Amino acid sequence: MSRTTKSVATMSVLAAVFVIGSLVGVRLLTAAAPALPVDQGAECEPRTIRAGGTLKAAAVTVDVYNASAISGLANRTMLDLGKAGFQSGSVANLPSKVEAGRQVTIWTSGRSSGPVRLVAKQFKGQVSYLKRPGAQSDLVRVVVGANYPGVDKKAPTKLKTKDSTKVCVPVEPDVG
C-alpha cells in the first residue's frame, strides 16, 4: 500500500470516528436524564420508646420558623440544633400575623412529650408553649422571635422518657 493510500485511509477512518463520536455525543447531551428509582420506603421508620427509655436527639425532627425580622434566624437555629444531633425539618419565615412569642415558642399538642421536652432544653432563656391541635408528637415545631437567646451548647442531647413515646427514626435511602 502506498504512502498516499495509507494517509487517505487513515484520514477516512479518523473522519468517520469524528462524525460518529459527534453524533453520539450530541445525542447524549440532548437526551433526557434517566429516571431515578422511586423510593418505595419511607424517609423514617416509626418506633416506640418505652416509658423510662432513652430518647436521643437523632430520633427527633424539628421544624424551625422565624417570627422576627432578623434574616436567617430560623436557618441558624436549625444549624445549631443539627449540630446537637436533631433531624432537620422545615425552615421558613412566618407571616407577621401568626401568633408567636418574643423568644422561643414551641407549637405542640402537649408539652410533656419526650421530643418537646428534649427540644425545649436546647434553648437559653424561657421557652413558651402554644397549644396547637393536631400537632404531631414526633415532630417539634419551634418558632424563634426577635429576642431569641440562642441555643445552649451544653444542653443534654438525650433524656429518659416519662411515657411511651412515638418517634420516626430517619433511614438511609436506598439509592442502589
134-156 confidence digits (pLDDT tens): 666 668 999 999 889 999 999 99
List all residues 6 or more positions away from 39 whose beta carbon is below 8 Å from its beta carbon: 173, 174
Taking the model in full, what pTM does it have?
A: 0.69
Q: Which of 108, 113, 119 is nearest to 86 (CA)?
A: 119
11-40 confidence digits (pLDDT tens): 999 899 999 988 888 887 777 665 544 444
